[in-house]
Amino acid sequence: MQAGQNRGWIWSVVRRRRRGNPSEEGKKGGDHRNRLQWWIVSAVYTPLCERGSLKAVAGSNLVGSTAGSLLFLWLAFGSLAFIEGQLVGRGYMTALAVVTMWTWRNRAAVAAGGR
């Protein structure tokens, strides 16, 4: 496939995705889910900050991901059939974020101590 053909295929996919406008109810449901998930994450993150930001990030991500997945699947599909995959995927991303933050902090601490 040549470069010009590749771009044409990509733009055809983008155009098809744009045509499928979500309904107003779907938009409102997404807005409500985002607001509720933000509130839940904030309610967990704020108290955990006193124990350390890594614990706060891990805890709020796990609780927020669970709540967000439950709300998303229920609003989008009316079923919780795919909850396991959602939670496993979000759990992996939370673990990756926490490990990255921990590594970055320790790298900075080692660099500061070595000077």
What's the pLDDT at 76? 77
Q: Give the pLDDT score at 50.
A: 87
User: Residue 3: how many CA atoms within 13 Å on its side-chain side?
Assistant: 0
At 13 the pLDDT is: 47
Quick one: pLDDT at residue 1? Answer: 46
Q: How far is CA 57 from the centre of its chain?
A: 12
Local confidence pLDDT in tens for the 115 residues of the chain: 444 444 554 555 445 444 555 555 555 556 767 778 788 888 888 888 888 888 888 899 889 889 888 888 887 788 899 899 989 999 999 999 999 999 988 887 777 775 5
Residue 32, both tokens: 């409500």
Indicate whether this model's pTM tops 0.75: no
**Long-range contacts from 85-91, C-beta under 8 angstroms, 24+ separation:** 90/61, 90/65, 90/66, 91/62, 91/65
